[in-house]
Amino acid sequence: MPTAADIVYTLRNNFNSGNTRPYEFRLKQLQGLHKLLADNEKALTNAIIQDLRKPQFEALLYEVNYSKTEVLNTIYNLKEWMKPTKPSKPLPFIMDEVLIQPEPYGVSLIIGAWNYPVMLVLIPLAGAIAAGNAAVIKPSEVAPHTADLLKELIPQYLDSEYYKVYCGGIPETTELLKQRFDYIFYTGNCQVGKVVHAAAAKHLTPVTLEMGGKCPVFIDQSADVEIVARRVLFGRFLNAGQSCIAPDYILCDKLTEQKFVTAAKTILKEWYGENAKESPSYGRIINERHFNRIVKLLDGANIAIGGSHDIKDLFIEPSIVTDVKPTDPLMQEEIFGPILPIVITDNASSAIDFINKREKPLALYVFSTNKTTHNLFLNYTSSGNMLINDTLMHFSCETIPFGGVGNSGIGGYHGKFTFDTFSHPKGTVSMRMRFEVEHFSIPDGTPRSILYKTDYFPRKINLYQSNVINCT
């Protein structure tokens, strides 16, 4: 097996040939990626089920089909995205050509996550291809069946001179991170994200870090609790709570808490029956290490719904916890499992204070019919994304960037934003040579140079100042 250094060296040489840059090459590779997903829909779904025991509809709809949709959108828009954009031109450049040309970074590294082991690898890969990069793809070793299948399939559908799959655990990832990449795209937890960021910093390599955090939900009394409960519970218990944008805790008043718990009991029974363990619609925890970590969070908790678990089956019942204090273990880390704590707050202002005292979340959810409340959270909190009156759905909105801020991540992607993530926006000015104008290249002290520097720029500054004064 080639070493990480050998793979990166080969890909860099191949990238430097320029073959990944033409539209025709990028289009062919994207079509290959879509064909990979279409031809192997069943195999990919089965691999995901083997690794995570997701319900079949979850694996198919939220991973394979969603990835196909993203790739098709990229194919459809590729030619347009590749075109240089023409910004407005300042007066000295009015006769010149001013462009912003998207160019590929070079050799990119894509490190996937285990909770959505197909989607979180192939969607960034589609962006890297569309932008004209070569790529090393590192699937998560925690989902081994999916990783092995991707290693088998990708060389069959993509040009292996430019796209390589590199499998392995911590030692292999460590070796990869010693190499000099031109871009690194990482999805996973914050602790490993810091390691990736530190490794990238040694070479000043730009990064996208898609991480997570504790995503809060605020509910006020204006919201329909029945609708709210369905949307919050769906977001929390999809994939057994193992989603980076899953609602992590609820902030509401006591009356709303009581109504929510009552509604939740009915809805969970409707979805999963009397015994969620026997339901084909409910998933499992990825492994024993994560199982033990999640179950430990329930120690001493006031469990209003659920709470049962079985380590042999990696099953944790959908659970709701009340009487939660900010100092409780449930509130100290991202839960990443099927437990939903409720913290009592008096109003929107106290909820905002609570959120702002903690790390910035990947997503923030607000349930209210009050526009003023919406604007309070929009203007006085910081989060990667914000969704009003639903959960998770912003992830599928390809016209907005999906990503974190602060502790929840760096950068964003989806749709054209994925293309932009893997592209350097190269500003370009093409000057005319038909005649000479007053120019900074004229040596200082000449009359024309003095005129240029003392006439044009002061006039421009005065114009800006006048406009600013008139706007106030």
Same-domain pairing of 189 and 243:
no
pLDDT-derived band at 209, boundaries 50, 70, 90:
very high
Closest CA to 210 of 363, 366, 45, 105: 363
Same-domain pairing of 393 and 418:
no
Residue 360 lies in a domain: yes
Residues 28-54: what's their mean pLDDT?
A: 97
CA dihedral of 441, 447, 448, 449, whole degrees rounded to 10: 40
Same-domain pairing of 104 and 237:
no
Place of tokens 């009581």: 258
Same-domain pairing of 278 and 357:
yes
Residue 313 lies in a domain: yes
Residue 459 lies in a domain: no
Specify burial of residue 242 (Cβ count, 10 A radius: 0-12, 13-18, 19+): buried
pLDDT-derived band at 93, boundaries 50, 70, 90:
confident
Q: What angle do CA 383, 385, 390 make, to 5 degrees?
A: 120
> What type of residue sits at position 246?
A
Same-domain pairing of 102 and 161:
yes
CATH number where 240 lies: 3.40.309.10
Which tens digits make up the pLDDT trace of 330-345? 999 999 999 999 999 9
Same-domain pairing of 184 and 259:
no
pLDDT at residue 464 is higher than 60: no
Same-domain pairing of 223 and 358:
yes
Is 274 part of the annotated catalytic residue set? no
Which tens digits make up the pLDDT trace of 247-303? 999 999 999 999 999 999 999 999 999 999 999 999 999 999 999 999 999 999 999
Same-domain pairing of 132 and 236:
no
| Per-residue pLDDT, 423 | 98
| Per-residue pLDDT, 442 | 55
Residue 155 lies in a domain: yes
Same-domain pairing of 197 and 276:
no
**C-alpha pair distances (Å), 148 with each of 44, 180, 213, 377:** 11, 25, 29, 43
Residue 254 lies in a domain: yes
Considering only residues 77 and 438, tell me which one the structure prediction assigns the higher pLDDT. Answer: 77
Rounded to two decimals, the pTM is: 0.93
Is 252 part of the annotated catalytic residue set? no
Catalytic residue among 190, 215, 244, 252: 244
Residues 451-463: what's their mean pLDDT?
A: 51
Catalytic residue among 58, 63, 210, 257: 210
Same-domain pairing of 314 and 385:
yes
Residue 34 lies in a domain: yes
Residue 444 lies in a domain: no
For 245-272, give one letter per residue: b (16+ CB within 10 A) or e. bbbbbbbbbeebbebbbebbeebbeebb
Same-domain pairing of 160 and 106:
yes
Q: What is the number of structural domains in the chain?
A: 2
Same-domain pairing of 396 and 420:
no
Residue 464 lies in a domain: no
Which residues does 458 contact at the CB level (< 8 Å), separation at least 6? none
Contact 190, 39 (CB under 8 A): no
| Per-residue pLDDT, 409 | 96
CATH number where 208 lies: 3.40.605.10
Domain range enclosing 56: 4-212+413-426
Six token digits for residue 384: 């990667």
Closest CA to 320 of 265, 269, 267: 265
Among candidate residues 345, 368, 403, the one where a domain is terminated? 403
pLDDT-derived band at 98, boundaries 50, 70, 90:
very high
pLDDT at residue 457 is higher than 90: no
pLDDT-derived band at 441, boundaries 50, 70, 90:
low
